[in-house]
Amino acid sequence: MPSFIKSISKPTTPMITFENSKSFADKSDLEDELAYIRDRFNIPQHDGSDTVYFCGNSLGLQPKNTNVYVNQELTDWAQLGVEGHFKKDTGWFAYHELVRDAAARIVGAKPIEVAVMNHLTVNLHLLLVSFYRPSKDRYKIICEAGAFPSDRYALQSQARFHGFDPDDAIVELEPSEGSDLIAEEDILQAIEDCGDELALVMFGGVHYFTGQVLDFKKITEAAHEVGAYAGFDLAHAAGNLKLELHQWNVDFAAWCSYKYLNGGPGTVGGIYVNERHVKNPHLPRFAGWWGNDPATRFKMPHQFTPVLTADSWQLSNAPILEMAALRASFELFDEAGMDRLVKKSNALTSYLKFVIEDVLTSLAKSDLVKIITPFAEQQQGCQLSLQFETDGKKIFDSLTSKGVIADWREPDQEGRGSGVIRVAPVPLYNSFNDVYRFGQLLQEAIKSL
């Protein structure tokens, strides 16, 4: 295909001169200091070749070392039985601590502020027990319209549980007219307008449909100014963005571990609770024996004594096999480091945007696709949401048949926009050649129409 050379910049990425060519992709992969980590993952195959796997925002790929970690626990179970709880270094009694520190590094928290436990929506409900405690006058929740359904269901059911009508208690912020995105100033204004009625602000840190990233720090500060708590669903943010939850003074957050964190389908999730809250033993929470102070846990005390860390939100024993799989991925995160991963992510996503625009220009189809994900500093991670004027599902199906694994999302029930193809070049295992191949296959898919 004809290609052209153009410079494109992203505020967090140094100026790069991109070229939509195989030689440029090859050169970029050779210069990529993290390229070798791709070989640590199992890449799904299509007709004997690696797929273009751009679906880490739905399910991350399996590290090749996963079976080593999981099989070790199966072996220990077979050989030790219950004594496996107290084996040296990796005993199941404290196994959750083996993934806690790495999780804290990924989300920018202190280890005492993080617990790996349960699953995302379960964790949200447990956190809302502590952080949504409405009164007759202060009961409102601000969230985004078109939030992921689990978040919406959780907030609606919590409002009802406390005796409030969700239509009154929950303030859902819509994108500005003519926009696919929620304006930051609208969020801050809504917080100010709710004022003393506001109990909680809870947003998805990265919007699953548009890929928009919100300003955690500003939203948290605004919520605190009116006396409300601020929490975030990090399903699409953990392992994707450079997070600083402790520094931003966020009250709480929860995430799953099967997307960018590569823990495996349906694997254990995690929570963050700010240090000032974990050190408050009087903060209401649902109690379970694994959240009790470990010094007395096996003495079976009659009264619950919360350990003064995020572990006190745990209810039950750690799911060892799921955590073993997560250890394999966290080993790679620690090796790469979030700073280097975010730097590569910025470059890959910038290149993907460039290649898509080049393909559309070369085909005189510039109006066919709208990238609805914002492309500015701190407003997106590695996901781009491509909204097609027509034939989006047909193009998606064509790409799939050619070995591209991406994600199709129908328009939401409010009818905002058309369906989108979500593509996510993940820096741990995607390459510049993946991006170049996607462009080639996108061109073929458009031509086939």
Instruction: For each of the domains in the chain, give its residue range(s) and CATH number, in order of start.
Output: 5-61+338-448 (3.90.1150.10), 67-335 (3.40.640.10)
Q: What pLDDT was estimated at residue 449?
A: 83
Confidence of residue 5 (pLDDT cuts 50, 70, 90): very low
Poorest-confidence range of 37-41, 314-318, 328-332, 432-436? 314-318
In the predicted model, what is the mean pLDDT of residues 218-238? 98
**What pLDDT digit, counting tens, does each position of 371-390 carry?**
999 887 556 799 999 998 88
Structural contact between residues 399 and 359, judged by C-beta atoms closer than 8 angstroms: no
What share of the chain in percent tops pLDDT 90?
Answer: 82
Confidence of residue 293 (pLDDT cuts 50, 70, 90): confident
Q: What is the pTM of this model?
A: 0.93
Q: What pLDDT was estimated at residue 380?
A: 75
Poorest-confidence range of 52-56, 187-191, 213-217, 410-414? 410-414
**What pLDDT digit, counting tens, does each position of 72-99 carry?**
999 999 999 999 999 988 999 999 999 9
Confidence of residue 298 (pLDDT cuts 50, 70, 90): confident
Residue 55 has pLDDT above 70, yes or no: yes
**Beta-carbon count within 10 A of 237 CB:** 25
